[in-house]
C-alpha cells in the first residue's frame, strides 16, 4: 500500500482478550494502546530492551527505526516490538499480558494515624456537662 493512500486508522485486536483499539499509521502500537486504555508490557519505548516483544498473528507493520532489536528468525516467526511498530494493515496480536488500564486494580494508599491535637485535649478538659 502506498504511504499516501493509507487509511486514517487500522484496527488492532488483542488475543485472547478480544480487545480492540484503533491505531493511526504514524502511531506506534504501544502508544495507540495506551491512548485507548490498554497497557502492553514495555520499558524503553525505543526498540532496544525487548520488554514489549509480542507475536503478531495477522497484519503488517512498519518500524519507525531502522534496526529494531529482533533477529531475522524472530521476525519470520511473527515477533514484533510494538513500541516501535506502526500499523500498515489491521493487526492481531497474541498479547495475554496486556492489561486494561481502566479495570486495573487501584493502588491502596495507607495513611498514618493522625497525632492527637494538643489544643483539642486542653479544650476538652475544660468542657463541663451539666445535667
Ligand atoms: S519497550 Fe523496549 S523494546 Fe519495546
Do the domain assignments include residue 76?
yes
Higher pLDDT, 58 or 120: 58
Q: Please state, in angstroms and as integers, the Cα–Cα distance from residue 26 to each residue in 7, 13, 105, 127, following that order.
A: 11, 18, 31, 70
pLDDT at 131: 54
Tell me the DSSP string of 20-88.
Answer: EEEE-TTS-HHHHHHHTTEE---SSSSSSS-TT-EEEEE--EEESSSS-S--HHHHHTTEE-TTTEEES
Q: If you measure from the C-alpha of residue 42 to the centroid of ligand 1, how many angstroms do you get, rounded to a whole number?
A: 5
The CATH code of the domain that includes 40 is 3.10.20.30
Tell me the percentage of the chain whose pLDDT exceeds 70.
80
Choice among 18-32, 36-50, 99-113 with the minimum mean pLDDT: 99-113
DSSP code for 46: S
Do the domain assignments include residue 34?
yes
Give the nearest ligand 1 atom to 53 CA: 4
Give the nearest ligand 1 atom to 47 CA: 3
pLDDT in tens, 117-128: 777 655 555 555
Do the domain assignments include residue 48?
yes
Q: What angle do CA 121, 128, 125 make, to 5 degrees?
A: 15
Q: If you measure from the C-alpha of residue 36 to the centroid of ligand 1, how many angstroms do you get, rounded to a whole number?
A: 19
| pLDDT interval class at 104 (50, 70, 90) | low
Higher pLDDT, 102 or 123: 102
pLDDT at 129 over 60: no
Do the domain assignments include residue 73?
yes
Distance between CA atoms of residues 72 and 86, nearest Å: 18
Do the domain assignments include residue 112?
no
pLDDT at 115 over 90: no
pLDDT at 122: 56
Residues of the domain holding 25: 11-104
Q: Is 68 in the pocket of ligand 1 (CB under 6 A)?
A: no
Do the domain assignments include residue 130?
no
Do the domain assignments include residue 41?
yes
Chain position carrying cell 499480558: 97
Q: Is 45 in the pocket of ligand 1 (CB under 6 A)?
A: yes
Tell me how many domains the chain contains.
1
Do the domain assignments include residue 4?
no
Q: Is 40 in the pocket of ligand 1 (CB under 6 A)?
A: no
What's the pTM value of the predicted model, to 2 decimals?
0.76
Amino acid at each position: 500500500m502506498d504511504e499516501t493512500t493509507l487509511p486514517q486508522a487500522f484496527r488492532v485486536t488483542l488475543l485472547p482478550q478480544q480487545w480492540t483499539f484503533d491505531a493511526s499509521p504514524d502511531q506506534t502500537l504501544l502508544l495507540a494502546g495506551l491512548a485507548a486504555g490498554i497497557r502492553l508490557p514495555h520499558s524503553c519505548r525505543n526498540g532496544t530492551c525487548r520488554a514489549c516483544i509480542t507475536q503478531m498473528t495477522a497484519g503488517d507493520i512498519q518500524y519507525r527505526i531502522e534496526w529494531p532489536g529482533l533477529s531475522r528468525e524472530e521476525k519470520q516467526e511473527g515477533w514484533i516490538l510494538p513500541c516501535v511498530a506502526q500499523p500498515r494493515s489491521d493487526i492481531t496480536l497474541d498479547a495475554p499480558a496486556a492489561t486494561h488500564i481502566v479495570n486495573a486494580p487501584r493502588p491502596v494508599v495507607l495513611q498514618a494515624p493522625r497525632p492527637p491535637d494538643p489544643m483539642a485535649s486542653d479544650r476538652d478538659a475544660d468542657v463541663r456537662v451539666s445535667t
